[in-house]
Amino acid sequence: MAEILRKIVEQKRVELARAQSACPIETLREVVEPTVRDFRAALAGGREEKLPRLIAEIKRQSPSKKAICTDLDVGEIVKIYSERAAAISILTDYEFFGGSLEDLEEANFVTTIPLLRKDFVIDEYQIYEARQFGADAVLLIARILEEEKLAELLLAAEKLGMAALVEIHDEADLVKVLKTPAEIIGVNSRNLDTLAIDLANFEQLLPQIPREKIIVAESGITTRAELENLSGRVDAVLIGTALLQAEKIERKLLELTEPHEDEN
């Protein structure tokens, strides 16, 4: 496991212990209700359309980019995203990404489209926690989970009506994921050791993913041309930094999603 991932997972264990002490999972099980928003359906079929569907992301900072948009207004940006995105990803890690579960909760108040909790999930507790704050799906990172734990977390999400975006970065991740019931597979082009973007890695992995899976391209997509290159090849793309650092988010969103005349 890359050093940065190791540090993040260690921090998650600390946060998890603190949260469980304050509110046991038994309490969450009593109060948390299944979602009615279908994240899977929001992405399914994107490969048959002119452009892949968009998962628009909110994140304030990252280990690779540091500050991205630290003073963002979650509610306002979610409203803008909701006009064009199929789903919205909310980064809830605080220590490394500056996010919070309160960001997720705020997003839930102002949108009706499915929400993904993007974090470093290592325990069932975090799935119940995600649902409590309004998530309809969770990110599961294959690199930090053993096969048995990954399958366990997929089942936990399913019990709450939630989907799981299962992220891979290399062939070992893919082999592991294909042994589980994962339906939505995200290919992260970011090298988890160097944090650099490596789109060639995506091109190598894509043909190896069974076509019946819902496929999501993650990281490194910034332009309309790159999006068009993925047309017919993936169902959705996850884009955050390119939107949040745009001079006008609305204009960038239109650039990425508005069909051109020759596409109609």
Q: Which residues are catalytic?
A: 57, 59, 118, 167, 188, 218-219
Reading the block at residue 237, the tokens are: 């793309």
- Who's near 42: CB < 8 A, 6+ residues apart? 53, 86, 87, 113, 114
- Who's near 248: CB < 8 A, 6+ residues apart? none
Work out whether the CA dihedral 20, 160, 122, 69 comes out positive or negative.
Answer: negative
Q: How many CB atoms lie within 10 A of CB 260?
A: 10
Q: How many CB atoms lie within 10 A of CB 203?
A: 13
Q: Which residue carries 């993913």 as its tokens?
A: 209
Q: How many CB atoms lie within 10 A of CB 249?
A: 19
Reading the block at residue 245, the tokens are: 């650092």
The rounded distance, in Å, linking the Cα atoms of 180 and 164 is 12
Q: How many CB atoms lie within 10 A of CB 124?
A: 18
First to last CA, the chain: 45
**Rounded to 5°, angle at Cα 249 from 36 and 106:** 40
Contact 70, 60 (CB under 8 A): yes
Pick the closest to residue 85 from 77, 74, 93 (CA basis).
Answer: 77
Query: What backbone torsions phi and psi does residue 186 show, to the nearest 5 degrees?
Result: -105, 130
